Structure 1
Amino acid sequence: MRPIAVQELFRLWSLQAGPVFTLQLGAKHWVILNTAQSVKDLIVDRSTIYSSRDLPSTLVDDIMGGVSKGGGFAFYPYGPEWRHLRRIAHGGLIKKKINEYQPIFDDRRNTLLANLWNEQLTTSTSTARDGFSLTRFIEHYTMTSILAIAFGNMCNFDAGDPRLHQAFSLTERTAAIFGPAEQMAEFFPMLKYLLPNRKQEYIDVRNNIEDFYGGLLAEFKERLQQDGDGVEDCFIKEIMQNGELTDLQMMNFITVFVGAGSETTASTLEWMIALLANEPGVQDKAYDEIQTNVGPFRLPGPEDESSLSYLQCVIHETLRLRPPAPLSVPHATSEDDVYNHWRIPKNTTVMINLHAIHKDPVRYPNPNVFDPDRHLDYVQRRAPQQRFSQTIDDRPHLAFSTGRRVCVGIHLAERSVYMAASALLACFRFERQDEHALIDVDTPKDLRSPTFAPSPYKVKLVARHDGVKDLF
């Protein structure tokens, strides 16, 4: 029997129990929101009540060092301290700062294209015919991009650098802590005494985080002390100049920043390539748009994004159909509330089922169909400098969540996805091995992980024209 993802199970339950339902899971009380209206009513309109967090103590205390010691601000309960740290993080991630990081994106995507090109040249005839996995190339792009934005040129790691492998390993080990066994122990505290004690494993992860990110921070501070003016602008330099954070807080900022930014962007790009390989007409339309508005002699840049409406639609539709975190990060209530005559107690976990919202047939006709054109009106109406809002009515999807806990790195994520997507489509056609769908798009790669990545697949790359190599 094929496994079913939790978000799909919740969606099916909502069709029977109603758009908002409650789960009593042992000691935990969950409320699942499956419609845009319920998200607007609670997460947006009552954001002062529904903007806290309730996450496993293993993550907050053992992995991030605990709130009292300056643990990851993304996991803080809602309040003055969280708002203060959020403002600091936001200052390093506004659109103006993202534009200053543009040379990093240019360099990283050129490396991505060169790595893919070289892989094609060195693979055997049979491998080229059967295709190959792009996962490690995409992960290298997302991880090195985010590390270079965090620390500058000192983190332009080559593919074989052992420190880069360490960064991948830390991200994977931390994500695995969201697994079923740990969640079950949160639901039923008695299991903490029955299941194997993994506390030392979590402490080891914590020590590795301190060794890796703490080491990078120490190296950066030394560079800054030796030649402050010569150190390029980067995220850690921005928040360090604020002067309000401890080394532990800065280290945890970067841990969350790198982990969340690399995993989610990689997942989005992998899904986009899989979906486009299944829809050759869609990718050809996106390629034709690039040729018309940019031409064959250079790669699209950020200045071209507003003229590539259909490409923007492709990205939006990928994020709608396959949001990287389909259940978002759990919210929690900070006080008792009543909604539609239902009492929602303080400290209730509130889950936003983005998967169900994005498959609402009223909001998205034929929701299971990959149809970028459905977002064309939104893209053409939106002014290039329009500010991102926390509302839900004027947005094509909720992949970056909403309300006061909306993803603080949204502009960085959008730029990273756009730069890679535009370059890949300008250079290559993605082809399947045969006439069958490339992957079973409803089955996740790993049910243990909070990020919904596709199951492994291979794709053939075909250069769009003879001059592709000259573009990078």
Structure 2
Amino acid sequence: MDMEIISCFVAFSAAIFFLSKLLFGAKSKHSNKKSLPPSPPTIPILGHLHLLKPPFHRTLHALAQRHGPIFSLRLGCQLAVVVSAPCAAEECFTRNDVVFSNRPKFLVGHHLGYNNSILLWSPYGPHWRNLRRVATITALSQKQINLMGPARRVEVRNMIRDLFRSSESGTGNVNLNEAFARLTRNLVMRSVNGRPWETTIMTSPSQLMTVCDFVPVLRWVGYKGIEKEMMKLKKERDAVVQSLIDEYRESRAIRRTGGVHADDAEKKTMMDELLDLQEAEPEYYTDDTLKGLILVMVLAGSDTSARTLEWAMSLLLNHPEVLEKAKTEIDTHIDKGRIVEDSDIPRLTYISCIINETLRLFPPAPLLVPHYSSQDCTIGGYHVPKGTLLLVNAWAIHRDPVIWDEPTKFKPERFEQEKLEGFSFKYFPFGMGRRACPGTNFALRNVTLVLATLLQCFDWEVAEPVDLNEQAGAIIMPKEKPLHAICHPRPSMMDTLSQI
């Protein structure tokens, strides 16, 4: 979060602060301040904004080391509580789950979330529940995930075909960052409209929260063009998704004119389901509602999977003994020359352990998407007022030495089936409670199949250990340096790969 606040506001802000203390100081003494979670010293107006340096999950972890696993921050005009312990997280998402089921109203939700009406930013209530139901029915249910099997098979084989050709041409040096991004976008778009990604790449905002959310006066002066840039991005993304809807609607009308209807549930895409809903209830299912659902699916569904695959391969390349163990499992359960299928996944338990351990060390969102309290409550005995921002540091909880043995080490074995009990509130890479990610199973199915196929079909190497530093300031935690690796077809798979 950029802290280069224009100096001309500071003196004015300080004067207002001290005046307010004189006028309202007596009232503050009798407030709930003493029962709030502990907090570092503040400065006028900015509160603790000056302390927030990227990467934010590491900064908040350092503050938790000094102030405890539950502490509070004053982010400009907004009170925030930061949770970095599993017991506190459990309290937030069990006893206080409904209280924290709301989202804050940030600029990103206003401009890029269609005025906070999309699944990610919508307030908790009937509209949000309906959006979640629709997303599940149209794309994310177990039935829909299974129906996507043939499309998943095509895209994964397209990827390994390209890798094989690259290796045969004498290079074999692969930019896995780009390869995974392309693959996961295609997988998601196959679910949305039945075709691979064929349009402009949509970008995501670099931050969910900006300084303008906490110091509103900065919006008036167009600070650093933050809001202007969001409006520009909104216009670009809106045009891309609107064109997808218009094109699909037109092709669907042509098919219907020719007597072809997508009445067979197995042939329906997410877009078919959404357009059916729109035809039944056009006033509710507007194009903006459809665009919001598609955007969440495309951006969240592709970015998180691509990042997870890149981190998993990075960890495996730095731990060849784990990589070899994974190959042995695949070779044991899959017939020689047959490429891994969806139906093989339940038997590849060690691959699942690798993915779980990757998500522990590098969760897609190291800080969960912010929650917002709808009424007063308590966490760990501390008072949390209505209107408080809740930040849960999943990255810190996933690496807590009190609850994890050797927390910084890559040890997939810790997730073996007999050891899974009791993980619920110390391991939550896809969030917790009512607002947990509804696409968890969709993402895990894609990631597991892709990773298993890459390990089955190719031997991998790098010239030097992979740098595991993360990029600062991003929402979804990417590697600082994109992963490049060299692939060689495994002898046992040469004939199969040459025929794809």
What is the TM-score when the length of structure 1 is the normalising length? 0.86
The answer for the alignment partner of 1:76 in structure 2 is 122
RMSD, aligned CA = 2.1
Amino acid at match of 2:158: T
Q: Write out per-residue CA displacement over residues 2-56 of structure 1, whole angstroms, 9 at most, x where no aligned residue.
A: x862212222222221111111111121111111111111123311101100142
Amino acid at match of 2:374: S
The answer for the alignment partner of 1:6 in structure 2 is 56
Q: C-alpha separation between the residues in 2 aligned to 1:201 and 1:296?
A: 52
Amino acid at match of 1:62: H
Amino acid at match of 2:134: I
Q: C-alpha separation between the residues in 1 aligned to 2:354 and 2:302?
A: 20
Q: Which runs of 5+ in 2 are unaligned?
A: 1-52
Local SS of the residue matching 1:73: coil
Pair 430,467 (structure 1): closer, same or farther in 2 beyond 3 Å: closer
Pair 465,45 (structure 1): closer, same or farther in 2 beyond 3 Å: farther
Does residue 18 in structure 1 map to residue 65 in structure 2? no
Does residue 207 in structure 1 map to residue 235 in structure 2? yes
Q: Which runs of 5+ in 1 are unaligned?
A: 383-391
Q: C-alpha separation between the residues in 2 aligned to 1:109 and 1:176?
A: 29
Amino acid at match of 2:151: I
The answer for the alignment partner of 1:460 in structure 2 is 486
> Which aligned pairs between 1:384-399 and structure 2 lie closer than 5 A?
393-394=423-424, 397-399=427-429
Does residue 186 in structure 1 map to residue 213 in structure 2? yes
> Which aligned pairs between 1:319-398 and structure 2 lie closer than 5 A?
319-378=359-418, 393-394=423-424, 397-398=427-428
Does residue 450 in structure 1 map to residue 475 in structure 2? yes
Deviation at 1:413, TM superposition (A): 0.6
Stretch of structure 1 that moved more, 403-412 or 340-349: 340-349
The equivalent position to 1:95 in structure 2, one of 137, 142, 151, is 142
Pair 184,4 (structure 1): closer, same or farther in 2 beyond 3 Å: closer
Q: C-alpha separation between the residues in 2 aligned to 1:224 and 1:322?
A: 41
Q: C-alpha separation between the residues in 1 aligned to 2:212 and 2:395?
A: 25
Q: C-alpha separation between the residues in 2 aligned to 1:432 and 1:84?
A: 47
Q: C-alpha separation between the residues in 1 aligned to 2:367 and 2:228?
A: 28
Decide whether the 8 Å contact of 2:84 with 2:394 is kept in 1.
Answer: yes
Amino acid at match of 1:99: N
Stretch of structure 1 that moved more, 309-318 or 233-242: 233-242
> Which aligned pairs between 1:15-164 and structure 2 lie closer than 5 A?
15-57=65-107, 59-67=108-116, 71-92=117-138, 93-122=140-169, 124=171, 131-152=173-194, 155-157=195-197, 161=198, 163=199
Deviation at 1:72, TM superposition (A): 1.5
Q: C-alpha separation between the residues in 2 aligned to 1:230 and 1:288?
A: 46
Q: C-alpha separation between the residues in 2 aligned to 1:95 and 1:396?
A: 25
* Aligned length, in residue pairs: 431
Q: C-alpha separation between the residues in 2 aligned to 1:49 and 1:74?
A: 17
Q: C-alpha separation between the residues in 2 aligned to 1:198 and 1:303?
A: 47
Q: C-alpha separation between the residues in 2 aligned to 1:284 and 1:408?
A: 33
Stretch of structure 1 that moved more, 71-80 or 400-409: 71-80
Stretch of structure 1 that moved more, 447-456 or 417-426: 447-456
Deviation at 1:340, TM superposition (A): 3.4
Does residue 264 in structure 1 map to residue 292 in structure 2? no
Local SS of the residue matching 1:74: coil
What is the TM-score when the length of structure 2 is the normalising length? 0.81
Pair 340,373 (structure 1): closer, same or farther in 2 beyond 3 Å: closer
Q: C-alpha separation between the residues in 1 aligned to 2:457 and 2:449?
A: 13
Deviation at 1:463, TM superposition (A): 2.1
Amino acid at match of 2:168: L
Amino acid at match of 1:6: F
The equivalent position to 1:412 in structure 2, one of 439, 442, 455, is 442
Amino acid at match of 2:445: R
Local SS of the residue matching 2:210: helix
Local SS of the residue matching 2:302: helix
Q: C-alpha separation between the residues in 2 aligned to 1:318 and 1:406?
A: 19
Deviation at 1:184, TM superposition (A): 1.3
- Structure of greater Rg: 2
Decide whether the 8 Å contact of 2:89 with 2:425 is kept in 1.
Answer: no
Deviation at 1:301, TM superposition (A): 1.5
Q: C-alpha separation between the residues in 2 aligned to 1:394 and 1:23?
A: 27
Decide whether the 8 Å contact of 1:32 with 1:351 is kept in 2.
Answer: yes
Amino acid at match of 2:234: R
Local SS of the residue matching 1:75: coil
Q: Write out per-residue CA displacement over residues 208-229 of structure 1, whole angstroms, 9 at most, x where no aligned residue.
A: 2222111111111222223355
